[in-house]
Amino acid sequence: MTSEESLVTQAQNTWCPGCGNFAIQHAMKFVIQELEAEGISRDQFVLVSGIGCHAKIADYFQLNSFYSLHGRTIPVATGIKMANPDLKVICFAGDGDLYAEGLDHLIHAAKRNIDITVICHNNRVYGLTTGQYTPTSPYGYKGKSTPQGLHEYPLNVIELLLGSGATFVSRAYTRRLPHLRRIFREAIMHPGFAHVDVLQICASFFNMTTWYDERIYETSESNAGLFEFACRTAQQWNYNDDAKIPIGIFFKTKKPVLPEKKIKKEVNRSNLVKTILDRAT
């Protein structure tokens, strides 16, 4: 692949008009082109998607990609990164995909600080299967599987990620494009596990455009290294109430990263074995 070739494939796009997935694709395209101009080869990017409307993004990008199973983007991305630490591995997953079936993988990836970027297309509904509730749907949500209203409260996934040890935790919104691009770029360049929870408009089954537009604001990131600050900011909105909704980088810190150290140790170990064998012969 050369930088002259289009990053977008000729595949027919089947997202609904007005879908927030277009903004995610556009922002990612912008950031990859920017990073390419700064010297990161196009071949270094690998995209991994799950199952759901979001997952078609793997078909729409002219990049190395792996269309994986429902809830299993993170194990696939982890394997790719461990096999070749030089790659920039970016997971795209839906909220039903990542925060339900894939939740255990998410928690442990954050805990081990594997150097991948995870982008959740959080439209708070199962769009591809026409409107069932997900772990981030609000209390009372009426959909195909909850015609009388959902009786569960949503997961505050930002709090969950902070509690799991993630070293980069952020939230963005598909109708704030320059902000979305900046968060994507910072997440990709972060050394370690980076999570972006993107509030994504589902135009067909849970259109929150006006509601979000009235509440979302860009939070100050000057204290993004402070865990207490991150927790307080995460609690401003719990994915359910009527409060203002902060977007931005909630928390960013440094911790030992996988796979670099492990690979180094393995190389050292194999050197040691070679030295011992050389001396014995």
Closest approach of ligand SF4 to the CB of residue 52, in Å: 8
According to DSSP, the residues that pair with 89 across neighbouring strands are 46
Q: Are 216 and 223 in contact (CB under 8 A)?
A: no
Among 23, 46, 51, 53, binds ligand SF4 (CB under 6 A): 53
Among 15-23, 62-70, 75-83, 239-247, the segment contacting ligand SF4 (CB under 6 A): 15-23
Site pattern 92..131 for ligand SF4 (x: CB under 6 A) = -------------------------------x---xx---
Token pair for residue 144?
Answer: 């195909």
Among 21, 25, 78, 134, binds ligand SF4 (CB under 6 A): 21
Report the 10 Å Cβ neighbour count for 248.
18
Footprint on residues 56-85 left by ligand SF4 (CB under 6 A): none
Nearest C-alpha neighbor of 53 from the set 201, 240, 212: 201
Closest approach of ligand SF4 to the CB of residue 208, in Å: 11
E strands within 50-180? 64-67, 88-94, 117-122, 168-173
Phi-psi category of 131—alpha, beta or left, where left has phi over 0 and alpha has psi -120 to 50?
left
Footprint on residues 171-230 left by ligand SF4 (CB under 6 A): 202-205
Residues that bind ligand SF4 in the complex, under the rule CB under 6 A: 15-16, 19, 21, 53, 123, 127-128, 202-205
